[in-house]
Structure formats: structure tokens, C-alpha cells
Structure 1
Amino acid sequence: MIVEQFFEDYEIGFARRSFGRTVTESDIVLHAGQSGDHFPHHMDAEWCATQEFGQRIAHGTLVFSLGVGLTASTINPRAMSYGYDRLRFIRPVFIGDTITAKARITEKRDHPRRTSHGIVVEALEVTNQRGEPVLACEHLYLVERKAAA
């Protein structure tokens, strides 16, 4: 879906929640192959059985990718991703866990050099099926203004 929103159209406090996404063994194996991260925490079930969590855990970068993807439901031709700040992996995500993402607009600010754009900050929280936070970060958007400031 395409939704055109200018910087002025974003409202602090606006929130949206995704559907759930169950993390599979295939997700972990594919991510390991793409990222080159074959650490035993993700790939070695026998070794993991001797560790604190007792089972393989999803890569933090996989959970981040899935969480961001869950919020990518619209295209705004007036905005683009400007990056991510304050990324934290709060709890492990295991094979079979179902994650959900919630995104909430927390801040709008001027861009330091581009008067034609502003920065919109969206807090992203990813939770597991028990409602426990597993990942948090801030997604920054570079958004076109209706008129240059």
C-alpha cells in the first residue's frame, strides 16, 4: 500500500502493531548462511543443550530483520529510512517463538542540514508470544516537508 505522508503529517504517539511471525529453524539456518554467523549459539543444538538457555537462539540480527520487516506494510514516497539508534537485544528468541512488532512515533525534529526534510523517530519494540520484550530500537526516517522550513 502506498501512503504519502509529509513530515507535518506524522503525529507523536501514533502507534501500529504487526501480526505475529513464528521463528523457524529454517530462518536461523538461512540467516547463518547469509550473514556468515555460524556460532554454536545458533547452529549447534547439542552444545546449546549444555548452556544457560538449553536450546539454540535466533541471531539478534535475524530478530531485528524480522521485526523491522513486520512493520514494513506501507510505502511512503516522501520518506526513507535514515537508520537505527539504540538497538538492544533484550531476551533470546528461540525456534518456535512467535514475535510481534509495535512501532510508535516518539519524536519529530529538524534535520541539521536539510531544511527540506525532517527526522521522524519511531520506537520499535519486538515482543515474544508471552508479551516479553525481546528487542528494542529507534527507527529514524528522513521525511520530506510540505514546504522547506
Structure 2
Amino acid sequence: MTQASNIPYDELEVGQTATYTKTVEERDIQLFAALSGDHNPVHLDAEYAATTLFKERIAHGMFSGALISAAVACEMPGPGTIYIGQTMSFKAPVKLGDTLTVRLEILEKRPKFRVLIATRVFNQRDELVVDGEAEILAPRKKLTLDIPALPPISIG
């Protein structure tokens, strides 16, 4: 098991940053389609995708949103964080094989443990692919938790 720690509200500071990185793989697209029910052929069918303005398959937009969620939940503030809201603007397509880095930055600490965080996603060429902000309810207490391993997942 691995462990994850959080940063409680009192330890968060405006300007504080964190990152989370993941490479988009075929398995991710298949699992996201299965989980979400979004079977748009631009994500799953190379022949169809070749006829679109993207000319190749692209990842689901909300896949990037899921990576933002992972960054907030696992990096900053971390375990115990509750999402209140999220805005996202999609700036560029995400393609299979892209390595995405979520960059978080604390923009504002608000009353009642609420925090506004910049949520930006960049590809391996440092191109902004998603721009947004999240409002979260930060954890009140410092936590270090064991994160259980996930069972193997098969597509089918």
C-alpha cells in the first residue's frame, strides 16, 4: 500500500502549487468510455476520427477533468478534500500518447474552509489544453492515509 497525506486549510497559502502527471494510453480511453458511457466515435474509432477536424482519435474532454480531480484529491489539498465546483475551458485536443500535467495553484482562501484553485492542464509540449478553476472545501485536519491498491480491471 502507498500512503497519501493532505494539506489542511490552515497550511494552504495563496500561490502554493502542485502538479500531477499522466500519459494518456489506449486503456485509459477504453476504460473512460466504459465508465462514462461516452462512446463517441471520435474517441474510439480511428477511421471515423480521421474524417473530423482532429484527423485522429482524441481523449474525452472530461478525462482531463478526471485528472484535475485526481490532482486535487491526491496532491493538493489531498485526502479529505470535497469538490464544490469546477469550471473548464477546453483549449486544445488531447491525443493518445500525450503526457498531461495538471498544474494547481491556490488563488484564494475563502471563509468556511473554502479554497479557489487554478486548474490548468498542459501537454508534453507545454501547450495549455484545459484552463479552469475549482472551488473546494479543504480538509480541516492533517491526515495520512493508506491508499489500497486497485484490483485488476479488464475491458469487456
Category of TM-score, reference length = shorter chain:
0.7 to 0.9
Structure 2 CA distance, aligned partners of 1:8 and 1:38? 43
Look up the match of 2:19: 17
Deviations 1:53-100 (A, max 9, x none): 1101100111211233245236756x5223233212221100111101
Structure 2 CA distance, aligned partners of 1:8 and 1:70? 19
Look up the match of 1:135: 130
Look up the match of 1:43: 44
Give the Å deviation of 1:27: 0.7
Look up the match of 2:146: none
Q: Is the 8 A contact 1:91 1:133 kept in 2?
A: yes
Look up the match of 1:119: 114
Structure 2 vs 1, CA of residues 120 and 32 (structure 1 numbering), >3 Å: closer, same or farther? same
Long gaps (5+) in structure 1: 111-116
The code of the aligned residue for 2:17 comes to: A
Equivalent residue in structure 2 for 1:2, among 2, 5, 8: 5
Deviations 1:30-58 (A, max 9, x none): 11111111111111110111211110110
* Secondary structure of the corresponding residue to residue 83 of structure 1: strand
Structure 2 CA distance, aligned partners of 1:52 and 1:11? 42
- Name the larger-Rg structure: 1
Look up the match of 2:59: 58
* Secondary structure of the corresponding residue to residue 27 of structure 2: helix
Tell me how large the CA RMSD over aligned residues is: 2.2
Structure 2 vs 1, CA of residues 106 and 45 (structure 1 numbering), >3 Å: closer, same or farther? same
* Secondary structure of the corresponding residue to residue 48 of structure 2: helix
The code of the aligned residue for 1:14 comes to: Q
TM-score with structure 2 setting the length? 0.77
Long gaps (5+) in structure 2: 142-156
Q: Is the 8 A contact 2:18 2:75 kept in 1?
A: no
Count residues with an aligned counterpart: 137
Identity of aligned residues (%): 38
Structure 1 CA distance, aligned partners of 2:65 and 2:19? 15
The code of the aligned residue for 1:68 comes to: S
